Amino acid sequence: ALRAKMDTPEGKALLHRLRYLLNGSDGEGMPVTYSTARKAYEGGDKKNSVMDKAGVYTFGHVAGYGLLFQLTGDQRYAEWGRQCFELALDGQRDRDDRYSWVDPGGALRAGPVVGWMAVGYDLCYNGWDAATRERFGRAIETYQTGLYSKWGKTDVNLEQLVSGTMPPKSNHYGMQVGGAALALLAITQEPWADQQ
């Protein structure tokens, strides 16, 4: 059904925009620009930097390439998704320096990163070999990272995100719990996953 929709005028427009955002042109290759930030709020005092241009790496790239893999069946997209997942594990920051797999700018930022990486994992799943799926899946399962906030650096893990580090009335709660829930859905029932 999605493949049929991609041939509609609306589907074509959406895919054109996705491809443009992935690499600044046609989506046929890796991002062309990467943030040079090394931590969240590198400017200090809650000042984040944002690279506002197409083709810059984001934590959504794995999912973007995964969607193209699902729609086309072209193995290259799963491979580019794999490379983007590797970049995240290595600490590559998003176009907005608050977002990163490694040391994001608080649990509010960690939740969406974990969630979208899990969506990308799910979309690229059949394009990756078993060893890659397990390695990335275990990275999701054992997610733990330092968080930078005005109170200093603290650690957070997937279990804490599932519970939320803020009360349900906080706007941070849904971002944390929602992202962690997507992560759990992506890896549930894997033979190596701890179902507890």
Position 152 scores a pLDDT of 60
Give the tens place of pLDDT for each residue, 36-48.
999 998 887 778 8
Give the tens place of pLDDT for each residue, 108-118.
999 999 999 99
Greatest CA separation for the chain? 50
Count of alpha carbons within 13 Å of 56, Cβ hemisphere only? 14
Position 16 scores a pLDDT of 97
- The kind and range of the H/E element at 157 are strand 152-157
Position 153 scores a pLDDT of 67
- Kindly provide the b/e burial profile for residues 83-97, where b requires at least 16 CB atoms within 10 angstroms of the residue's own CB: ebbebbeeebbbbbb
Q: Which residues of the chain are under the pLDDT cut of 70?
A: 148-153
What pTM did the predictor assign?
0.93
